[in-house]
Amino acid sequence: MNTNIGKYLEQYTITRPQEVLLVTAQIEGQTDRIAIFKGFSSSLMRSTAFDPEIPVLPDEAEILSIDRVASPYHPDNPQYIEKGLTWETMQPLLDRAGIRV
């Protein structure tokens, strides 16, 4: 896995503050769901470190899917913009946002 995927996705949400990314990933053999909004990542299933330098999406994580959701995010009634993206299908969106992978 590319060591900067989490940072790329965080940069994307800085350029698109009207969106939240919900990333489903396999981390250390367990599935995790991570919300990324305005440049910050937070696990919805595990504890998140207080130090923003500790990546929520580690280098060895496997991205299973990425959902684009309208902000503000309401967990009970999310407004999906696009569901089930892969890292590969997310890259053109990063490119359009000016983020070079």
CA 54 to chain centre: 15
Task: Report if residue 33 sits inside a domain.
Answer: yes
The neighbour count for residue 47, using CB atoms within 10 Å, is 7
Host domain of residue 64: 5-94
For residue 10, what are the contacts with CB-CB under 8 A and spacing of at least 6? 36, 39, 40, 41
The per-residue pLDDT for 3 is: 57
18 by Cβ neighbours in 10 Å (0-12 / 13-18 / 19+) ranks as exposed
The per-residue pLDDT for 55 is: 73
Number of domains within the chain: 1
The per-residue pLDDT for 54 is: 72
Task: Report if residue 101 sits inside a domain.
Answer: no
Q: Which residues pair with 24 in a beta bridge?
A: 33, 65
Task: Report if residue 53 sits inside a domain.
Answer: yes
Task: Report if residue 58 sits inside a domain.
Answer: yes
Please give the model's pTM, rounded to 2 decimal places.
0.90
Per-residue confidence in pLDDT tens, the chain, 101 aa: 455 789 999 999 999 999 999 999 999 899 999 999 999 999 998 877 777 777 788 888 899 999 999 999 999 999 999 999 999 999 999 999 999 88
In the chain, how long is the greatest CA-to-CA distance?
34
